[in-house]
Each structure stands twice: as C-alpha cells, then as structure tokens.
Structure 1
Amino acid sequence: MRVKNFLFQSFAQFFFPIFLVLFFIASVIVFIRIAEVTFIVKIGFFELFSLYFYTLPIMMFFVIPLSFFVACVLCLSRLSFDYELPVLFALGMNPKEIVNIFLPIAFLATFSLSILSLVLIPLSDLFYKRFLEERKNDININLQAGEFGQKLGNWLVYIEKNRQDENVYENIVLLSLEKERGLIFAKEAKIMNYLGVMEAILSNGQVYRLEKASEMIERIEFQKLILRNSVGYISDLNLGVVEYWRQAFYPNDKQKRVLRNLAMYILISLFPLMSLFYFPLLGIKNPRYQKNWTILQIMVVVAIFYGLVYLVANTFPLLGIAVIPVAWFILGYWGYRKWISRYY
C-alpha cells in the first residue's frame, strides 16, 4: 500500500503540471478560434465564455491522454534515475506490480475519455453550432469599416463607414465568386432579418456581372436592390448522441467524417489502457548503464501512435478500431518482456 501511494504521489507531481500547461495552450488556441467567429457575428463577454465552455470536452479529450502517458513514463524515469526503483527491485518488487498499480488509473482514464468522446463531444459540438445559428438568425452581423475579408452570406464585403444606426452602412462593396459572379457598389446598405431570411437592402448603386454566353461585363444601375440569403440551417442540430453516431453506418453526406471521428475517438480513448506496458518499457532504466533519453522516446512513441490513428481513421476506420488496439498492446507487451521483465 505504501509503494502504491508513493507511485501515485510521484505520478501526480508530473500529471497535474503537464495537464495545466497543455490545457492552457489548448485554451489559447480555442480563444483564437472563437475570435475568428467575432468577425462574423457579434457576441458578448458571457457568450464568449459560453463558446469556450462548449469546447471544453474536445480540449479535455486531447489533453488528458497525452498528459497521462507522459506523466506515467516520466514518473518511472525519475524514480529510476533517483535510484528509488532499483532499491524497490532489490527489495523484491518486480515490474509487473508497477503495471498492476497503474492499471486502475489507466482504466479510469480510458473510461473518462470514452464518456468525453462518445457523449459529451457530440453534444457540445451540436450546442456550439446551434449557438452560432441562433446568432446568425438574429443578424448580429459584425462588419467593421475599412477591413477586408469580411463575409455576408456568400458575399465578400468591404464598407467605408458605419452609421450609428444598427446594421446600417455607407459606401459598401460586395463581391461574389460563386456561380453567379458579380460586383456590387452601393451608397447605403441596411441589413435586417425578415422571417428567418437575411436581407441586405442596398440603395443607389451599380451591379457588374459577367455574362457567360458573350463573356461581356454587364452594368446595371439601381436605386434599390434587395439581396436575400436564407440563413444556413444545419440538419443535425436536433440529433441526439445515438442518432449522431448512427450517421457513420448508413449513406449520407456526413458519413465519412462521422466514421473518421468515431475511429479516432475510440482509439485515442483506449490509448491509456492499451499503452499500459509502454510505461515500464520507456520509464524503467538502469541509471548506471543507460542514458536518460526518456523525453525523446516519449515524443517518438506518441508521434507513431497518433500517426497510426490519423492514417487508419482516414483509410480503413472500422478495421483500424479492431486491429490497432490489439497490435499496439501486443507490441508494448513484447517490448516489456524483451527489455524489462527479463532483467528486473
């Protein structure tokens, strides 16, 4: 019991600092992503944190397995080079006991990741999309004067001046690169929501469009022009968790993406449990004869695993779900038997 508590304390000393650092980095990336949303719709301070809250499951999902793996290996490596593990082995302990000690927390990590990936991530993703659609329905468009690259529906927009009136702009330019290519100049534009359809009411301007037949540019002057764009509707906004994952097993426009995510989520969720023998394989060292290459070894193993996950998730996801966990576990056990258990 004392040895178990000793190992858990050593593990915690690595896990929580690593987790906090990776979580902070992931949070910065998420806030950058959310900042991109503010270029399209206006959101307040509390709405900003609502979007951040919706991304918490996906952040936790990618941070926990990496933190867990690194902490387990570094924990054993430090104990080895501090001559504490060699002392325990000299007193009769063997590496198999270390594996048994880490087994419950590896199972707990895998169970937590399974809940995050198969339940919470689909729900948070749907809530995130629903939130953005509701904001678009409110037509809280956030167009800034003098900035390029802003979008209004399928149109790229540039405005010269914002009026104090809400959603009213002066000297606006709209460019469409879709099938109906065109360029519109207008002295004034008012954007409003009418029965769920976005309307841009343009006044006193010109339309330039390319005629495909004659390849000539047509110029049309107008006093009033109304552009209507139905607010995008996402068909799966009201899906439950079961219905969300069922999309991976019948033909539909999202089948490939959902099937890829399913394979990726399952494999990464199993990573702590099926890497159980990699902890002693990479962490247990002989401090007298071996150099401390642990961090480099961790980087190589993690890169190989995530590379395999990405490969099988995009090529043969269902087969990969069955093959990768077994192959990865057997490879780790073989290395453990060859380099660890026969010597300690």
Structure 2
Amino acid sequence: MIIFRYLTREILTTMAAVAGVLMLVIMGSRFIRYFSDAAEGDFPASILGSLMLYHLPGFFELLLPLSFFLAVLLAFGQLYMNSEITVLVACGVGPERLLRVTLLPALLVTAMVAACSLYLTPAGALKNELILELQKQKTDFSVLGAGRFQDIGTRTVYAESMSGDNSELKNVFIAERDDKKAANTADSEPRQSVIRAQRAFQEVSPETGSRYLVLGNGTRYAVEPGKAVAQRLGFDRYGVRVTEGQDAASLKDDIELATTAELIATDTPEAKAQLQWRISLPLMVPILMLIGLPLARVNPRQGRFARLLPAIFVHITYLSLLIAAQNAVASGKYPASIGLWPIHGVYLALGIWLSWRDNRGGGR
C-alpha cells in the first residue's frame, strides 16, 4: 500500500507539472491569436475569457495522454536512477506488480480524457461558436471602432465617430467590390461602389437572423474601372447585409460540434471518423502506459532523460497515424469498418512486446 501511494503520487505530481507547462504554452499561443483577432475588431476583448475557458477541454484531451506518458517515463526513470527499482525487485515487487500499481492512475487519466473528448470538448466548441455568432448578431458596434478602416467581407468601413451607447455610427464611409457581377460579365474587373451616409446602425432580421448595416441620409456611387460612367443614388435608408443568420441547428452541421450521441446515430464517414477519434484519445492512455513502463528502464549512468526523445517520437507517430487515418475515413478513402483500430493494435502489440522483454530481464 505504501508503494502504491508513493508511485501514484510521483506519477500524478509529475503529470500535473508537465501538463501545466504544456498548457501554458498552448494557451499562450491561442490567447495571442484571439487577442490579435480582438485587436482587429473581429470580436470584443470582453469575451476572451469565455473563449479560452470553453477551449480548455480540447486542450486537456490532447495534453493529458502525452503528460501521463512523460510522467511515467520521468517518475520511473528517477526510480531506476536511484536504484529504487532494484530494491523493489529484491523485495519481490516485479514488473507485473509495478504495472498493476500504475494501472489505477492510468484509468483515472483515461476517465478524464474520455469525459473531455466524448462530452466536454464538443460542448465547449459549440458554446464558443454560439458566443461568436451571438456577438456577430449584436445590435451595437462593440466590434467596430471609430476613426479607423475595417474590412467586413468585400467591404471596407470607416466611421468618423460613434454614439455614447455604441449603437450608432456617425459620418460613415463604405467602399465595396461586387465580385459576383464581374464574374457574370466579360469584364475581369469587379464593379466598385462607394457609399457615404450621415449615420448607420445595425439591425437583425427576425426571419432569417441576418445582420444588416442600415445607413441613413446618404449617397451611393457605383463605378466601373476604365469607364467614364458612374451611377449616383441618394437615399434616406439603405441596408447592407453584413452576415447571414446562423443558429445552433445550422452550427451542428459541423461534425466536430455534434454530440457523441448524434455521431452514433449518424451513418456517414465523417461521423464515424469523428466518433472513432473521440474514442481513440482515452484509449491511448493505457496503451502509452504499457509502452512507457519498459521505456523508462534506464541505466543510472544514462540519466532519466535518456529515453525521452524516443518516447516523444513514439507518441508523435502514434498521434499522427491516428490523425491520418481519421482524415482517410472521413474522406471515404479508407473503410470505416477498419478505421483507426489497427493503429491501436500495432501500438498495443508494441507495448506487450516491450513489457514481455522487460519481464524476461526481471525489471532490473
């Protein structure tokens, strides 16, 4: 019992440290990207915290298997360096006993990864998409800034100032390119137009959910490059569609946002590939544990980092093959009935062979 508590504490403590470092790196990279998008006006900075929070399960489902794998290598490598494994073997604690002791923290990590991949990650991804879509449909200009040019699709928008409640722009200028009309004509150059208006506000259509930029008291000029002809249109009210409506039902057309129950009920290659991927992530944990225990066996003179590079290579190839197989199944190039399971079988066989070889050596 003392050995079990000691080894479990060493593995979980090391895993937490490795996962913390990797999480800081990945979250920092994602935060910088989101912060850059917020600085460009794609969405307000006030929702950054929510976006990062709902991304956490997606980070954990990828980091925990790797962190646990490295924790097994580092924790047992330290035991080999200090000759503690030799003492344990001399006391009758062989490789099979060490494997059983390590199995409980492995099952705990497997349950955590399964909760993330099967439930929390798709729910968090859907929540993020809904937050971003809701932000697009807001009837204020929290994502637009006064005094600077901002691209919205094929349009460039500029406003001189903004009302105090962020609900209306003043002295608005819009330049847009009509690529569709150019594609339907023999002209290669797109039709261009310029709009100037005294004020502008946003409006959401209750029927379609589309968002419109409604301009008031302005003029629209339409020109074609190379021609000395222009059209001038004065208006009291002019609507420009900014984004098309999208609700939760349409968002769930994205297979990555579907729940696991919906994937099980859907008989398409994309759904089967996504379902097998979600199952594969927790399945990696016990298989990596089986590989990690024999790889952690090092000579005290080598140091506990001697097998770290080969182990990382094993994990990278394992994950890369799973990703490649998932893409092949989703595209229909590889039968879903075979799917990702042969890859798990190969690495499971590798772990069994390494463990068998380690048992023959007595774990010393």
TM-score, length-normalised on structure 1? 0.83
Partner residue in 2 for 1:13: 13
Instruction: Identify the range of structure 1 (65-74 vs 91-100) with the bigger mean alpha-carbon deviation.
Output: 91-100
Q: What is the rounded CA distance, in whole Å, between the counterparts of 2:314 and 2:7 in structure 1?
A: 23
Alignment of 1:86-125 (within 5 A): 86-125=86-125
Which structure 2 segments of 5+ residues have no match?
182-189, 331-335
Q: What is the rounded CA distance, in whole Å, between the counterparts of 1:113 and 1:178 in structure 2?
A: 46
Partner residue in 2 for 1:150: 151
Is the CA contact (8 Å cut-off) linking 2:72 and 2:289 kept in structure 1? no
Partner residue in 2 for 1:303: 316
**CA deviation digits over 1:151-202, x for unaligned, max 9?**
2xx3342426333463415352433475344433223351311434322234
**CA deviation digits over 1:78-111, x for unaligned, max 9?**
1111221122223332111111111122122122
Q: What is the rounded CA distance, in whole Å, between the counterparts of 1:22 and 1:114 in structure 2?
A: 19
Is the CA contact (8 Å cut-off) linking 1:65 and 1:268 kept in structure 2? yes
Deviation at 1:320, TM superposition (A): 3.0
Deviation at 1:233, TM superposition (A): 0.9
Alignment of 1:189-268 (within 5 A): 190-195=200-205, 196-202=209-215, 203-208=218-223, 219-224=230-235, 225-229=238-242, 231-234=244-247, 235-237=249-251, 241-242=259-260, 244-246=262-264, 248-250=266-268, 256=270, 258-268=271-281
Deviation at 1:36, TM superposition (A): 5.0
Deviation at 1:329, TM superposition (A): 0.6
Is the CA contact (8 Å cut-off) linking 1:122 and 1:244 kept in structure 2? no
**CA deviation digits over 1:263-300, x for unaligned, max 9?**
32221221111223212221012325788522212221
**CA deviation digits over 1:22-79, x for unaligned, max 9?**
222222233234335534555463x332222221211221221111111111111111
Partner residue in 1 for 2:340: 321
Is the CA contact (8 Å cut-off) linking 2:80 and 2:300 kept in structure 1? yes
When residues 301 and 30 of structure 1 are mapped into structure 2, their CA distance, relative to the original with a 3 A threshold, is same
Partner residue in 2 for 1:331: 350
Q: What is the rounded CA distance, in whole Å, between the counterparts of 1:292 and 1:42 in structure 2?
A: 44
Is the CA contact (8 Å cut-off) linking 2:54 and 2:124 kept in structure 1? yes
Partner residue in 2 for 1:23: 23
RMSD: 3.0
Partner residue in 1 for 2:297: 284
Is the CA contact (8 Å cut-off) linking 1:169 and 1:190 kept in structure 2? yes
Q: What is the rounded CA distance, in whole Å, between the counterparts of 1:289 and 1:63 in structure 2?
A: 27
Deviation at 1:246, TM superposition (A): 4.4
Deviation at 1:138, TM superposition (A): 1.4
Query: How many equivalent residue pairs?
Result: 331
Q: What is the rounded CA distance, in whole Å, between the counterparts of 1:123 and 1:108 in structure 2?
A: 22
Could you tell me the percent identity over the aligned residues?
A: 20
Q: What is the rounded CA distance, in whole Å, between the counterparts of 1:43 and 1:163 in structure 2?
A: 16
2:192 corresponds to which letter in structure 1?
Answer: L
Partner residue in 1 for 2:187: none
Matching of residue 170 in structure 1 with residue 171 in structure 2:
yes
When residues 42 and 229 of structure 1 are mapped into structure 2, their CA distance, relative to the original with a 3 A threshold, is closer
Q: What is the rounded CA distance, in whole Å, between the counterparts of 1:116 and 1:35 in structure 2?
A: 25
Instruction: Identify the range of structure 1 (14-23 vs 84-93) with the bigger mean alpha-carbon deviation.
Output: 84-93
Alignment of 1:50-65 (within 5 A): 50-65=50-65
Q: What is the rounded CA distance, in whole Å, between the counterparts of 2:34 and 2:262 in structure 1?
A: 24
Matching of residue 186 in structure 1 with residue 168 in structure 2:
no
2:285 corresponds to which letter in structure 1?
Answer: P
Q: What is the rounded CA distance, in whole Å, between the counterparts of 1:217 and 1:266 in structure 2?
A: 64
Q: What is the rounded CA distance, in whole Å, between the counterparts of 2:91 and 2:228 in structure 1?
A: 88
3-state SS of 1:277 partner: helix
Which structure 1 segments of 5+ residues have no match?
none
When residues 187 and 87 of structure 1 are mapped into structure 2, their CA distance, relative to the original with a 3 A threshold, is same
